[in-house]
Chains A and B, each alone.
Chain A
């Protein structure tokens, strides 16, 4: 399938460029928007962004590989990010992640993001999500679940099936 950015999105991105004295500044916002639309940042998206912002593709690719939120392959429709940093760890983050993995048939012993074969879920550990008073905290797509319980885990999985 050929890479194509819908006209509406393109116009939105053009408007973003105008917010900065230098075009290059818009690159993170471009990548967010493209990832939101396509589900990940493909090489084509990198090249497209570079061309729009007058950059070399490497200037954009090095952002995709540096910033943890950008992904180079398609992830699950429901993305489960379990906070692993201290306050959440004290509140049982490891057990919580293991529960998500086990329920979804993923390997709790493996590092890094894991996606279910049906493409419905990705589960991963992330660093502090800045809601430590509600530990353990899980981010499911754009929503934050504080004091995440086993029941919440079941609910997230039922909803994403």
Chain B
């Protein structure tokens, strides 16, 4: 039976483990930072020389670390895009605006082990020549913000922050910046606008790639909390050794947030790809299965923006055989390895690592109505298709959940969603459209039945309230 593999959360839940620096230092804290700043430069076999900072960046690239915030993009590659020649200061921002519905992993790190984040951040800043960095934390985490401020003070007092960190000649300041309840601030360019003191309207790319034109129009790295923590472990283990964790192209561990209709919801850190979706939901040491007498109906595998998966679905995955040839294998939903690539091949994504489970007692119309209301509320309003479309879908779904369903509602919703995706400045458009598209295509009959039943009830004059839309 697969087990948790705790790398990031190794100490967080141990009895007596506290978020202060003394405790962190007792557990080997800041050793990776010391190792990083003492890293010598090296000469590669091809004669190319790497500076100490380049060595660390190269290790992160070699580790295969992929962003844990949602997109799953290579962290090392993201760093490699940074404009280091333009002469502008380089900024780093930690995205601690954890808001993707279903996700509660960064919360654990921020509240239980803030110094681990700081260490990962300081190493990342050092490696990228960053002298000023921010932690953008959700407004709804005031305790987290206080803990981080305390942790920053402690780190400053120990010489891990401020002037000439550990005698390395590098100066660094990190500040906490609080958001104020807007989901769109999790989008990196929206976050940057917010950090500049503006409404968080995402910027259009090109030209505003943060690596070139980010905060204050300077090169900026935006990394998720968990991603930055991993950097610490990459440095401690070495990139190649870290890459042995997890599976090829899906390296390391990640914290899965499991919620909804399981007996044992919670967060579980696992090696990426070593545990299947079914094991996460059903195994006694993870979700423990659905409630007694219930059966699995649907899984939202990577936060509310990911496409829903239906119980019983089968997927064709490309696998590399022992002979190196790519073959196609059919895999049941529950046998999908929980990793970036498998879920992508299954037509969805592992996103922020948030799995929401729904059993057979749940109405899929109600479920997507709930999520659509979220997206309608959180659309920043900058792009018309998203501002109008997200609200339109939510209103239509409100009508459907209030007795005003129509047999053709699935197609109606699909049309609206298709007119949002691909037509917006940021990925929020897809985030609002994809759940709707997947719910109405996979649970089409449920929408049709609801519509027919409502129509019949109306014909008999038995309409429930709320048919006025």
Interface majority SS (helix, strand, loop, mixed), chain B? mixed
CB-based contact B107/A130 at 8 Å: yes
Task: Check if A133 is an interface residue, CB within 8 A of chain B.
Answer: yes
Complex Cα spacing A84 to B377, Å = 12
Option from A67, A127, A134, A143 in Cβ contact (under 8 Å) with B180: A67
CB-CB under 8 A from A135, the residues of chain B are 259, 265
Interface contact B140-A63, CB-CB below 8 Å: no
Asked whether A133 lies within 8 Å of B265 as measured between CB atoms, the reply is yes
- Are the CB atoms of B356 and A67 closer together than 8 Å? no
The stretch that binds A, out of B271-279, B367-375, B452-460, is: B367-375
- B197 near A132 (CB under 8 angstroms)? no
Check A131 for interface membership: any CB of B closer than 8 A. yes
Question: Contact between A28 and B177 (Cβ–Cβ < 8 Å)?
Answer: yes
- From B101, B142, B267, give the contact of A133 (CB < 8 A): B267
Q: Are B265 and A29 in contact, CB atoms less than 8 angstroms apart? A: no
Chain B positions 168-189 with a Cβ under 8 Å from a chain A Cβ = 173, 175, 177-183
Q: Which of A32-88 contact B (CB under 8 A)?
A: 32, 53, 55, 59, 62-63, 66-70, 81, 84-87
Q: Are B180 and A32 in contact (CB under 8 A)?
A: yes
Given contacts A28-B178, A68-B180, is CB(A130)–CB(B98) below 8 Å?
Answer: yes
Task: Indicate which residue in A26, A62, A90, A126 contacts B260 across the interface (CB closer than 8 Å).
Answer: A90
Identify which of B102, B196, B354 contacts A25 (C-beta below 8 A): B196
Q: Judge if B362 is at the interface, Cβ distance under 8 Å.
A: yes
* Residues of A contacting B300 in the complex (Cβ-Cβ under 8 angstroms): 86
Q: Is A120 an interface residue (CB 8 A)?
A: no
Contact B261 A32 (CB under 8 A): no
Contact A24 B197 (CB under 8 A): yes
| A143–B141 CA distance with the chains assembled, in angstroms | 9
Q: How large is the interface on A (under 10, 10 to 19, 20 to 34, 35 or more residues)?
A: 35 or more
Tell me whether A132 and B102 are in contact (CB under 8 A): yes
When chains A and B are docked, how far (Å) is the Cα of A55 from the Cα of B99? 29
A67-B265 contact, Cβ under 8 Å, with A24-B196, A29-B178: no
Please give the distance in Å from A118's CB to the nearest CB on chain B. 25
What's the nearest-Cβ distance from chain B to residue A66, in Å? 5
A130 to B95, CA, bound (A): 14
Given the complex, which residues of B lie within 8 Å of A25, measured CB to CB? 177, 195-197
Chain B residues near A53 (CB, 8 Å)?
197
Of B139, B143, B216, B257, the contact of A32 (CB 8 Å cutoff): B139
**Which residue of chain B is the closest to A28 with respect to CB atoms?**
B180
B103 CB within 8 Å of chain A = yes
Interface string of B176-214 (1 = CB under 8 A from A): 011111110000000000111111100000000000000
Q: B266: which A residues are within 8 A, CB to CB? A: 133
Smallest CB gap from B140: residue in A? A129
In the complex the two chains form, what is the Cα distance from A67 to B300 in whole Å? 27
Shortest distance in angstroms between B357's beta carbon and chain A's nearest beta carbon?
9
* List of A residues within 8 angstroms of B280 by Cβ: none
Q: Is the CB of A87 within 8 A of B182?
A: no
Whether A27 sits at the interface, judged by CB under 8 Å, is: yes
Residue among A69, A126, A130 with the highest chain B CB neighbour number at 10 A:
A130
- A140 vs B103: C-alpha distance in the bound complex, in angstroms? 20
B368-387: which residues lie under 8 A (CB-CB) from chain A?
Answer: 370-371, 373-374, 377-378, 380
- A binding-site residues for B, Cβ under 8 Å: 19-22, 24-29, 31-32, 53, 55, 59, 62-63, 66-70, 81, 84-87, 89-90, 126-135, 139, 142-143
Contact sample, A vs B, 27 pairs, CB 8 Å cutoff = A22-B216, A32-B139, A53-B197, A63-B199, A66-B199, A66-B380, A67-B179, A69-B139, A81-B140, A84-B373, A85-B101, A85-B304, A85-B371, A86-B300, A86-B356, A86-B370, A87-B260, A127-B183, A128-B102, A130-B104, A131-B104, A132-B101, A132-B259, A132-B265, A132-B354, A133-B265, A134-B265
- Given contacts A28-B179, A132-B104, 19 further A-B pairs with CB under 8 A are A29-B177, A31-B180, A55-B197, A59-B198, A63-B199, A66-B199, A66-B380, A84-B373, A85-B371, A87-B101, A90-B358, A90-B362, A127-B181, A128-B304, A129-B140, A130-B103, A132-B102, A133-B265, A139-B140
